[in-house]
């Protein structure tokens, strides 16, 4: 059975868009991307949710722990340990920081210990200047498990098969109502870092992905002709752009009630736009498709390393403009002239390409290592 690679391509496109937005691309483009690129990851994750996990919760939780919690802890601890070293070698400093003027500082021994505890217990405490996108690990981890819990509770409460079919829709409605209440009253989930908005909206989008899965084949059949895909994509894109221009919203943890109301429509239409583009790209087996599938299958590595990869381009920009070398500490990229030059293109290439190159080399090394193992084992058994 051939693998359906449309979702992998969509994830590949989404992670590239994230890297573009973080690279301080032109403002209109960043606003457009922010409308849907993070919801898209939650939607694609929900796409693969299966009802079999209602009776096998342990397997689902183990997968979430292995795929999200462990990578988060491993790399958060790694960057925690090298945080002060980054100051000594000049990658970080207390002079240059983010666009708002905030800077980072070396950690005291007490701060390092507290961050370590926070990493393990709250999936927070990560190095904001080196791991700025790490909130996604916690967001998806909490959202997916929350979805499973709510679904299981409702499934055990509803006895009618007819009404059970409505559970996915009911969960989405519940999460929207809770998020609306939360943002309208300015409430916080005290047990979740940043108040829980991202996690709860993530649960809503996760549910949207599961619902879409039920209609994916029908959707593809309805717009299988090229002109249908083309025009629906244009319509979706125009609507998303209008929202980004007049009712800007994203998954910011400090979102207002108006921003909350502005998010679901462009986020869902943005997903459908990218899904349409992915269907077109999936039709031909060429290098672009293979690259996007590979990228979509390794999005976590780009989440982890794209900010560090930016530093290579920052060095080039410092040389080009004769800037203070300490500007390499800017988060996420050097802000000087960022809205007028094209360095965001180089940042994007590095932010996507370097993590993927490291991944590819690591995979090649593992394959070579595995090939050596049997020969060693056979030689050892022969000697015995």
Distance, in Å, from the CA atom of 180 to the CA atom of 256, rounded to the nearest integer, reads 9
Residue 375 reports pLDDT greater than 90: no
Rounded CA gap, 248 and 27, in Å? 12
C-alpha–C-alpha distance, residues 311 and 287, integer Å: 28
Structure tokens at 330: 């800017």
Instruction: State phi, psi for 350 to the nearest 5 degrees.
Output: -70, -45
**Residue 218: left (phi > 0), alpha (psi -120 to 50), or beta?**
alpha
Per residue in 112-147, pLDDT (tens digit) is: 999 999 999 999 999 999 999 999 999 999 999 999
Task: Name the token pair of 86.
Answer: 């980054």
Q: Say how far apart CA 174 and CA 157 lie, in whole Å.
A: 15
Instruction: For 188-232, write each residue's pLDDT tens digit.
Output: 999 999 999 999 999 999 999 999 999 999 999 999 888 899 999
Q: What six digits make up the tokens of 243?
A: 């929202």
Q: Which two tokens stand for residue 319?
A: 């040389």
pLDDT-above-70 percentage for the chain:
97
pTM of this structure: 0.93
Nearest alpha carbon to residue 334 among 66, 91, 73: 91
Contacts of 117 (CB under 8 A, 6+ apart): 125
Q: Is the pLDDT of residue 376 over 60?
A: no
Mean of the pLDDT values across residues 371-383?
A: 57
Q: Does residue 341 contact residue 313 with C-beta atoms inside 8 Å? A: no
Query: Per-residue confidence at 372, pLDDT binned at 50, 70, 90?
Result: confident
């Amino acid at each position: 059975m051939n693998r359906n690679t449309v979702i992998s391509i969509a994830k590949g496109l989404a992670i590239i868009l994230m890297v573009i937005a973080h690279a301080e691309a032109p403002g209109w483009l960043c606003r457009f991307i922010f409308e849907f690129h993070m919801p898209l990851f939650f939607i694609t994750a929900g796409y693969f949710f299966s009802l079999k996990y209602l009776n096998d919760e342990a397997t689902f939780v183990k997968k979430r722990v292995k795929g999200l919690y462990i990578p988060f802890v491993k790399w958060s601890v790694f960057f925690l340990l090298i945080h002060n070293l980054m100051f000594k070698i000049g990658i970080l400093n207390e002079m240059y920081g983010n666009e708002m003027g905030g800077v980072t500082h070396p950690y005291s021994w007490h701060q390092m210990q507290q961050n370590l505890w926070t990493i393990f217990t709250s999936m927070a405490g990560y190095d904001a200047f080196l791991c700025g996108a790490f909130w996604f690990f916690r967001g998806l981890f909490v959202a997916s498990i929350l979805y499973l819990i709510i679904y299981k509770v409702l499934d055990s409460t509803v006895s009618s098969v007819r009404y059970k079919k409505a559970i996915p829709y009911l969960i989405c409605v519940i999460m929207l109502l809770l998020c609306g209440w939360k943002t309208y009253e300015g409430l916080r989930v005290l047990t979740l870092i940043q108040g829980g908005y991202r996690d709860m909206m993530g649960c809503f989008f996760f549910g949207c992905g599961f619902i879409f899965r039920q209609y994916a084949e029908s959707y593809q059949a309805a717009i299988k002709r090229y002109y249908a895909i083309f025009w629906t994509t244009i319509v979706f894109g125009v609507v998303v752009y209008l929202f980004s221009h007049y009712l800007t919203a994203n998954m910011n943890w400090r979102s207002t009630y108006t921003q909350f109301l502005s998010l679901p429509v462009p986020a869902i239409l943005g997903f459908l736009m990218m899904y349409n583009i992915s269907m077109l790209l999936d039709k031909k087996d060429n290098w672009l498709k293979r690259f996007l599938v590979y990228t979509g299958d390794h999005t976590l590595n780009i989440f982890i390393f794209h900010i560090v990869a930016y530093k290579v381009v920052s060095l080039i920009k410092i040389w080009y403009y004769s800037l203070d070398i300490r500007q390499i500490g800017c988060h996420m990229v050097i802000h000087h002239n960022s809205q007028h030059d094209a360095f965001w293109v180089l940042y994007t290439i590095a932010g996507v390409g370097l993590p993927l190159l490291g991944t590819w080399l690591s995979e090649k090394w593992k394959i070579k290592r595995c090939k050596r193992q049997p020969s060693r084992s056979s030689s050892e058994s022969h000697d015995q």
